[in-house]
Amino acid sequence: MSSTWVQSPRHTPYRRSGRTGLHLPMLTLGLGRGARGGVVALTPLVRKALELGINSFDITSPYHRSHEFYAEIRSAFSASQVRREDFFVSVRIGLGTGPLPFAGFSSRRQILAGIDGLLRDTDLDYVDVLYLHRRDGQTPLAEATTALADAIRLGKVLYPGLSAFSSRSLTEANAALATQNTPAAALQVSYSLMDRWAEGELLEAIDQQGIGGVACAPLAHGQLTTGMGRGFFPPGKARATDTLTQLAAARGQTLEQLAISWVLRDRCIASALLTTTDHSHLVAISQATNHTDFTEEELAALDACCPIPTSANPPTPSTPRA
């Protein structure tokens, strides 16, 4: 990688990921395939992200290994002339990632071979966070967590992460990682105004265990995107987005900005994972990181519009952690 890149004076704010030493920018940009499965031009998108101070990138590996996709990844980082130590890379390995069988998807072989293949395909020396994606009932948890710890000892990964784990599985996996002096640094969790299931046990668990949360799908897979239009949603959700748009306008925000600000209102969420290929969309959303404060009245209105599932049973539904 070239070392001539100079960091932009604009910075996306950082947050500490749990009680680890890892600090992540409050926005992470997902680098994946296009909406129809095609390879998108990533170089201008990565350059725009870096210009905005968004220097955290999550690589979503295609199920079928794509030489074109990885070539685009290599080109994006190389053309941006960014030093490796000046940006973050995270990746998931597990169910549905890479050319893996569904059986044994978190086996030692799949984790270590998967990270080797990704490093080879992307020309990266290491990744910052490797997420074990989903609990695999056919693989002993100790085998999977030992493989994560070994990837760190081999210098291929800096921090272990977990993705799509329940609170119970999270606690068990983190305890196993801690015995090897590699406790989990981050948990990827689906979380948005339209998907609040994590409030309660799961967010409490990551807070208590000192793990940073990374909010995936904060725009609810397009439900919280203005451009989708009313016809895209069932009537109830269409009405909810109308109300949310009005609440956002009262805060001087767009619907998308409100959605990002809201998931980041809780300090246990270190970063929001955004997937977009629209530069103007990226610019607009980046402004949400500076407006994560909410009044009690705003939180109450959002709770009324997007109620918390009763199964979540949060102890303090409207009060974000300090």
CATH number (domain holding residue 133): 3.20.20.100
With respect to residue 311, please indicate whether it lies within any of the assigned structural domains.
Answer: no
Closest CA to 123 of 162, 85, 170, 84: 84
DSSP secondary structure letter of residue 52? T
Residue 279 has pLDDT above 60, yes or no: yes
With respect to residue 208, please indicate whether it lies within any of the assigned structural domains.
Answer: yes
Closest CA to 186 of 177, 194, 195, 197: 177
Name the domain count of the chain.
1
Residue range 171-225, pLDDT digits in tens: 999 999 999 999 999 999 999 999 999 998 999 999 999 999 999 999 999 899 8
Closest CA to 57 of 93, 37, 84, 81: 84
With respect to residue 320, please indicate whether it lies within any of the assigned structural domains.
Answer: no
Which strand (E) or helix (H) includes residue 121? helix 108-122
What tokens were used for 134?
Answer: 């989903």
With respect to residue 319, please indicate whether it lies within any of the assigned structural domains.
Answer: no
Q: Across all residues in the chain, what is the average pLDDT?
A: 87
* Cα 107 to Cα 59, 65, 87, distances in angstroms: 20, 19, 29
Q: Could you tell me if 168 and 144 are in contact, meaning their C-beta atoms sit under 8 angstroms apart?
A: no
310 Rama sector, left if φ>0, alpha if ψ -120 to 50, beta otherwise: alpha
What was the pLDDT predicted at 315? Answer: 39
With respect to residue 127, please indicate whether it lies within any of the assigned structural domains.
Answer: yes
With respect to residue 240, please indicate whether it lies within any of the assigned structural domains.
Answer: yes
Domain that holds residue 32: 14-305
Residue 80 has pLDDT above 60, yes or no: yes
Residue 247 has pLDDT above 70, yes or no: yes
Percentage of the chain surpassing pLDDT 70? 84
With respect to residue 3, please indicate whether it lies within any of the assigned structural domains.
Answer: no
With respect to residue 314, please indicate whether it lies within any of the assigned structural domains.
Answer: no
